[in-house]
Amino acid sequence: MHRPILGRITRAATLRQLQVFEAIARLGSFTRVAEEMHLTQPTISMQVKKLAEAVDLPLTEQVGKEIYLTDAGHELAAVCREVLGSFERLEERINQLKGLEGGRVRLAVISTAQYFLPQVMQSFLAQHPNINIIMEVVNKEHLLERMAENQDDLYVLGQPPEGAPVVSERLAVNPLVFVAPRGLELPEDRVLTVEDLKSVPFLMREPGSGIRDQIEQVFAEMGYKPNVRMILGSNEAIRMGVISGLGISVVSMHTVREELRRKELRMLPVKGFPIERHWYLAWSKGKRLSLSATRFMETLRMESLVLDAEIKPLLAKAKKQKS
Q: Is the pLDDT of residue 238 over 50?
A: yes
- Each residue of 244-274: pLDDT tens digit? 999 999 998 888 888 888 889 988 988 888 8
Tell me what the mean pLDDT of segment 181-208 comes to: 86
Is CATH 3.40.980.10 the classification given to domain 1-100?
no
What is the pLDDT, as a whole number, of residue 98?
55
Q: In this structure, are residues 167 and 285 in contact, taking their beta carbons and an 8 Å threshold?
A: yes
Please provide the CATH number assigned to the domain covering 101-173+279-312: 3.40.190.10
What is the pLDDT, as a whole number, of residue 1?
42
Tell me what the mean pLDDT of segment 54-70 comes to: 85
How far is Cα 254 from Cα 299, in angstroms, rounded to an integer?
19
Q: Is the pLDDT of residue 316 over 80?
A: no
Q: Is the pLDDT of residue 155 over 90?
A: yes
Confidence of residue 320 (pLDDT cuts 50, 70, 90): low
Q: Is the pLDDT of residue 3 over 70?
A: no
Percent of the chain whose pLDDT exceeds 70 = 92
Q: In the chain, what are the domain boundaries?
A: 1-100, 101-173+279-312, 176-275
Q: What is the mean pLDDT of the chain?
A: 85
- Domains 1-100 and 176-275 equal at CATH topology level: no
- Each residue of 290-313: pLDDT tens digit? 888 888 999 999 999 988 888 877
Q: In this structure, are residues 212 and 141 in contact, taking their beta carbons and an 8 Å threshold?
A: no
What is the pLDDT, as a whole number, of residue 9?
67
What is the pLDDT, as a whole number, of residue 2?
43
Instruction: Find, among 180, 230, 236, the residue nearest to 203 by Cα.
Output: 230
What is the pLDDT, as a whole number, of residue 5?
42
How far is Cα 181 from Cα 256, in angstroms, rounded to an integer?
12
Does this model's pTM top 0.95? My answer is: no
Sign of CA dihedral 146, 147, 153, 157: positive
Q: State how far the alpha carbon of 95 is from the alpha carbons of 53, 126, 128, 154, 299, in Å.
A: 36, 19, 13, 22, 21
Confidence of residue 148 (pLDDT cuts 50, 70, 90): confident
Instruction: Find, among 308, 278, 265, the residue nearest to 178 by Cα.
Output: 265
Q: Look up residue 63 and give its amino acid.
A: V
What is the pLDDT, as a whole number, of residue 169?
94
Angle at which helix 291-322 crosses helix 71-97, to 10 degrees, equals 100
- Architecture per CATH, domain 176-275, reads as 3-Layer(aba) Sandwich (3.40)
